[in-house]
Amino acid sequence: MRNFLISICSLIILCTGYVIPSSAATVYRYAYIINSGDAKELALILLDSTSPQAHEQRQIPIPTDRQFQFFGAIPSPTGEWIALPFQSPEGTKLQLYNILSSEIFDVVDGSFPLRDINGLPDQHIVWSPDGKNLAFLAVASIDDKEPTGGVFIYSVDTQNILKLVDETSFYARLAWSADSKLLAISKRECSDTQRCEFSLSVADINIGSVTQSVNIPFLDFGAASYIGVDTLCSLAWSPDSRYISFVSICSYEPSPIPKEVYVWDTQSEELTPLTSFTTAIQIPQDGMFSVGFYSVAWITANTLLVGGVWGTNTSLQSGTFLAHVADKTMAEISVEAVEQWAIAPTRQKAAYRSTTAVDAERLVPDPPKLNISDIGADSSLSNSSTTATNACHLSWSPDSTTLAYTFQTDLDSFGRSCTLAPLGIGLIDDSTKQTVEYSFTSDERSKGVVIVGWVHMQ
């Protein structure tokens, strides 16, 4: 079994190809999937942005060769493909579904499982911005030994799978550069007897290998400190593909480990802490821990927006900042914290969910607000429109004309209400400011709703 898996992981796998038909006119729909659990098909629902009640429904067959469980949907940025991972006790099948033709085929045949943390993939299966390559993490546990696997790249054009790196490390996240040429890879290595080691690497897709990497020494707090802790998340490239930002600790929970935002300059290879909120906290007594949660969005090659909540489990602060990477400065632009950002892909528009934490122990926020602002030439946010709604999963259509979001009624701890099951979908036309909402039926909610996102229709 071991040799069989390693042989598969070492090969370039050829898949059946498909040519995307040309489209006369581009139309985008916001989509979600209903998963009944024991059905043989998934129901793909395509909403009309002007009248969500008049939706289109398609059926996607579920693989039947094993007892697979569907656990996510990742649309390509161009909206033509949806990556569909299915899990089973024996492994994972990764399929691609083409929106224009309804064709579906296997990318990974289940011989080795994809990494899955906290139930859903988070930067573990990622499309390149041009929609031509799909990167994913794969691991295999053999004879109860440490998992082994690597990072893989699937090419839509050639239908080949390339194994980019092959190591026994615990890979955390993947992120593509804006030009679709580079892939950032974060990882950690821990053992019972040694301290954890963390690093961030960059792979050049044209070369097919890692070209540079940096160790992250300031996360060295001992292996025991990282048991059950998710690290090195929210990887994001600057628009010019020079800088990579990331958050050190991903958990919402209070922790003895500082949680900060960092930036790596891939040209100078300088690694800089952008924030120092939790690092500067003096813990006065036992039972107190540092708290930090951040949301980051790049808006120019040198500036990014950082929203967050920080402090201890008994005293919190919140704020949003405009950071300039070159001179390493941050200016506060709001006392509210932005939990989620959505930057329009083709226009200078930003949508964001903001709130203020008021209860330190539970991080329970004030009622959140959905904001849409213009991004000025100086990177400022202006001409904002604000709606009091518990909006989550903010996403602009590829043509930047419509903002989609999910809505919920219940508030949990800060940053976590969006992990609850959504009640419906809202769509905002940015030109008219008209909002239409579609509430999931009780039958849909009982079966299970999986948000897909924007897809491309002819």
Instruction: Give the tens place of pLDDT for each residue, 291-324.
Output: 788 999 999 999 999 998 887 767 778 899 999 9
HSE-CB of 456 using CA atoms within 13 angstroms:
22
More confident residue, 391 or 15: 391
The architecture (CATH level 2) of 1-9+23-168 comes to 7 Propeller (2.130)
Name the CA dihedral angle for 140, 145, 150, 155, rounded to a multiple of 10 degrees.
-10
In this predicted model, what pLDDT tens digit does every residue of 201-223 receive, in sequence order? Answer: 999 999 988 999 998 876 655 54
DSSP 60-102: EEPP-SS--EE---EE-TTSSEEEEEEEETTEEEEEEEETTT-
pLDDT score recorded for residue 189: 74
pLDDT score recorded for residue 49: 78
In this predicted model, what pLDDT tens digit does every residue of 130-169 receive, in sequence order? Answer: 999 999 887 644 344 555 567 889 999 998 888 887 665 6
The whole-angstrom separation of Cα 125 and Cα 137 is: 7
pLDDT score recorded for residue 410: 58
On whether the CB atoms of residues 135 and 94 are closer than 8 A, the answer is no
Closest by alpha carbon to 443, among 40, 49, 35?
35
- The listed range with the strongest mean pLDDT (241-255, 299-313, 390-404) is 390-404
Beta strand pairing call for 91-98 and 104-109: antiparallel
pLDDT score recorded for residue 146: 55
pLDDT score recorded for residue 306: 95
Q: Determine which helix (DSSP H) or strand (DSSP E) holds 5, and give its type and residue range.
A: helix 2-10
The whole-angstrom separation of Cα 397 and Cα 349 is: 12
The pLDDT confidence band at residue 414, using thresholds 50, 70 and 90, is: low
Q: Which two tokens stand for residue 372?
A: 């849409």
The pLDDT confidence band at residue 41, using thresholds 50, 70 and 90, is: confident
> Can you tell me which residue has the tokens 């979001």?
405
Q: What average pLDDT score do residues 322-327 get?
A: 93
Q: What per-residue string of b and e applies to 147-182 under the rule 16 or more CB within 10 Å gives b? A: bbbbbbbbbbeebebbbbbeeebbbbbbbbbbebbb
The pLDDT confidence band at residue 6, using thresholds 50, 70 and 90, is: very low
pLDDT score recorded for residue 154: 92
Q: Which two tokens stand for residue 310?
A: 């920080």
Query: Does 277 score more than 90 pLDDT?
Result: no
Q: What average pLDDT score do residues 255-262 get?
A: 80
Q: What per-residue string of b and e applies to 132-142 under the rule 16 or more CB within 10 Å gives b? A: bbbbbbbbbee
Query: Does 286 score more than 60 pLDDT?
Result: no
pLDDT score recorded for residue 191: 63
Q: What average pLDDT score do residues 3-23 get?
A: 36
> Can you tell me which residue has the tokens 């969910």?
353
Residue 218 three-state SS? helix
More confident residue, 384 or 290: 384
pLDDT score recorded for residue 11: 32
Q: How far is CA 168 from the centre of its chain?
A: 23
pLDDT score recorded for residue 21: 42
In this predicted model, what pLDDT tens digit does every residue of 92-141 receive, in sequence order? Answer: 788 999 999 999 988 887 666 665 544 444 788 999 999 999 998 876 44
Closest by alpha carbon to 421, among 114, 37, 32?
32
pLDDT score recorded for residue 113: 60
β-partners of residue 29 are: 455
pLDDT score recorded for residue 322: 95
Counted residue by residue, the chain has a size of 458
CA triple 337-343-345, angle to 5 deg:
175
Query: Does 182 score more than 90 pLDDT?
Result: yes
On whether the CB atoms of residues 360 and 291 are closer than 8 A, the answer is yes
The pLDDT confidence band at residue 32, using thresholds 50, 70 and 90, is: very high
In this predicted model, what pLDDT tens digit does every residue of 364-389 receive, in sequence order? Answer: 556 788 999 999 988 889 988 888 77
On whether the CB atoms of residues 93 and 86 are closer than 8 A, the answer is yes
Q: What average pLDDT score do residues 49-61 get?
A: 81
pLDDT score recorded for residue 67: 75
